Structure 1
């Protein structure tokens, strides 16, 4: 299991590396894929929510390890598609910030619901994130490439969260997951009032 955690961490790092390179000035004309890849990495709210979903999936274990990320990515695509189609969703920014706070609280509380309930919660929050991705897509971007980019970034963040959560589980240190959840929730509150 330790080698799986290491491999997941390496894979997430490899996916994130192009984003780190693109963070330097002079890349204003990045490809649609790179623009999509950078979008979730560029906002602390997106980063925290997606890492938190991965941590939450790992803390639940079993089927949640693939169901929560799958539900999140599927609903995120739906939200992005709705935004691109011009269908407005109310309270997008509030929903994103609420997702950070509440998933952090769920981690602190070590919340365990049915897999369907957890996937529904993750999916509901993902609609807000997807809508933001769709609304903020540059007009000259290729929609498919852009979507593939933000899916790759989201998947990398979920994998990173799951790798960290799996490591915490192996170390038998559930307090670390609760501590991470409290940091995530507090950061969400700070982002909401800032």
Structure 2
């Protein structure tokens, strides 16, 4: 895919993010009092799990610095968004952006969009910030927030690693499979949007 076509795909993905309706994809955190609760929570939020793996897949397709930079940007900006959520700072369009992130990342993977690492980091960072904010607002004031966040970060990084591992499988067949997974990711995001409308 040419760089120009990749930029067009990224533009379409971002426009989808702007057009989404609220979806309330987060249904509550349950216990947020321990490291173990933080480890478990990403595995029970379908939207979060899909996006974490998708970041890893897209990083693997892009290769080079994206392999470490994009997961690092995601975790960093997720924590920044989480801190604002814990502090009670309101951010508009959190839920629509979270659902749009699933569709957008799926499209970027399906198209094998080869964006510069900085451009991909900006897209991923934006989505990460909103994911973090949603989870930060779910943490009760009385919870062990730092322990919970530490567990959450570990599982997030492991899910990124799972996506990278799948994306690094060699051969055209596996590259085609990764792109197919990207298309399925976009469809899953659309399904979550429709299901929550």
> TM-score normalised by the shorter chain: which range applies?
0.7 to 0.9
What CA deviation, in whole Å up to 9, does each residue of 1:74-133 have, x standing for no partner?
000000001111111111111110000000000011101110000111100001110111
Aligned counterparts, 1:113-152, within 5 A: 113-152=115-154
* Equivalence map 1:78-157=2 (5 Å): 78-157=80-159
Native 8 Å contact 1:39 1:133 kept in 2: no
Distance 1:107-1:68 versus aligned 2 partners, 3 A rule: same
Unaligned runs of 5+ in 1: 1-27
**2:172 corresponds to 1:172:** yes
* Stretches (4+) displaced over 2 A: 28-31
Q: What is the aligned residue count?
A: 165
Q: Which runs of 5 or more residues in structure 2 are unaligned?
A: 1-29
How many Å apart are 1:29 and its aligned residue?
Answer: 6.4
Equivalent residue for 1:47?
49
- Whole-angstrom distance in 2 between the partners of 1:117 and 1:135: 28
Instruction: Tell me the TM-score normalised to structure 2 length.
Output: 0.80
Give the corresponding residue for 1:192: 193
What is the TM-score with the length of structure 1 in the denominator? 0.81
Distance in 2 between the 1:188 and 1:179 partners?
14
| 1:31 Cα offset (Å) | 4.6
